[in-house]
Structure 1
Amino acid sequence: MTNTALLSPYSAGPLGLLRNRMVMAPMTRARAAEDGTPLPVVADHYAQRAGAGLIVTEGIWPSSRGQSGWRYPGLQTAA
């Protein structure tokens, strides 16, 4: 059985043309260093799922004072 609608391109307005209609929802996976820097396994995770038309990445904490969990990725680093 084939589902051509799911695999066909989709115009997502301002996001542009998606190559298919599959969307990956965000997941918090706690794979960052203690300072919030994503570990190499994070790039592997998204590369393995690159076939989805749209990937919504996991949330991040905006500053060290707003960190909501252990080993969650963050926006603020020493760099």
Structure 2
Amino acid sequence: MQSRDCFAKIIATRFSMLSIRLMHSGADMPSRKHLANAIRALSMDGVQKANSGHPGAPMGMADIAEVLWRGHLNHNPSNPEWADRDR
């Protein structure tokens, strides 16, 4: 069984890849609600894949995570080792 930190990294990576694809596709950016729902789905997938844990907290905090990720955190998905990133 993989650690929870590993699943947190997987979820963050998938969300970053989704954001990059949306930015480069020329499509309209999905609403905050759609992005939060994507986080909820990824949380359920992570708990299911780990066959352990409870998705209640990540699903309940998905809206907050979306706001932080899109509006406040410094990150560069194409350069995850960027020295100026938030940790």
Decide which structure has the larger Cα Rg and report it: 1
TM-score normalised per structure 1: 0.30
TM-score normalised per structure 2: 0.29
**Which is richer in helix?**
2
